[in-house]
Amino acid sequence: MTTIPLTVIGTIHTPYTRLENMPIQPKGAKESKGVIELFPEYSEGIKDLDGFSHIYLLYHFHQAKRTELTVTPFMDTTPRGVFATRSPLRPNHIGISIVELAEIEKNSIKVRGIDVLDNTPLLDIKPYIQNFDAVAKSRSGWMTASMEEVAKKRSDNRFVG
């Protein structure tokens, strides 16, 4: 078994201190404000980021302690293979979210549309690049919920611990 050690490079601050009742996706949290505090030794790396309207955050699902290969997603009632979901209970507890960049001040990045727990450990920031990341036409399998349903949906405790 090969292990790759990742280093936490910052902390994501959000209004969500508990998993219950948290938006399940950025699109369910359009106005939720968060602050990404990049540790000062990495500040040089965010130069030019302010030209992008959206960024990917890669982070550690720090409250997910176990792995389950079959899970029932928030937006479904049928158990699904974990790689066909965004559940935190995946083999590596890594999450990605696309958020809107609001403002950068030194090593503090203000964002909107954040759907992660307060104090989530940050692993990476990447620019959302329209030419690379927008898929013109795609098919989303079991995930047939409308945007309205996703926006209304809130999490519960099923993926904790």
Residues that bind its own copies (CB under 8 A): 1-9, 25-27, 42, 44-54, 56, 58, 60, 69-70, 80-86, 90-92, 94, 96, 98, 121, 123-135, 137-143, 145-147, 150
State how far the alpha carbon of 142 is from the alpha carbons of 12, 29, 115, 117, in Å. 30, 22, 21, 26
Cβ proximity to its own copies, 3 vs 21, nearer residue: 3
Q: Which is nearer to its own copies, 19 or 100 (CB)?
A: 100
As measured in angstroms, the least distance from the Cβ of 54 to its own copies is: 5
- Work out how close the CB of 98 gets to its own copies at its nearest, in angstroms, rounded to a whole number: 6
Rounded Cα distance, 46 and 42, in Å: 8
10, containing H or E segment: strand 10-13
For residue 74, what is the enclosing H or E element? none
Report the Cα–Cα distance between both ends of the chain, in Å, rounded.
Answer: 24
Neighbours of 103 (CB within 10 A): 11
Residue among 37 and 56 whose Cβ is closer to its own copies: 56
Shortest Cβ 21–its own copies spacing (Å): 19
The answer to whether 68 and 89 are in contact (CB under 8 A) is yes
State the minimum distance, in angstroms, from the CB of residue 136 to its own copies. Answer: 9
Q: Which of 4, 13, 6, 10 is nearest to 122 (CA)?
A: 10
In whole angstroms, the minimum distance from the beta carbon of 2 to its own copies comes to: 4
Choose between 143 and 160: whose C-beta lies nearer to its own copies: 143
Residue 21 or 134 with smaller CB distance to its own copies? 134
User: Tokens 């389950």 identify what position?
Assistant: 68
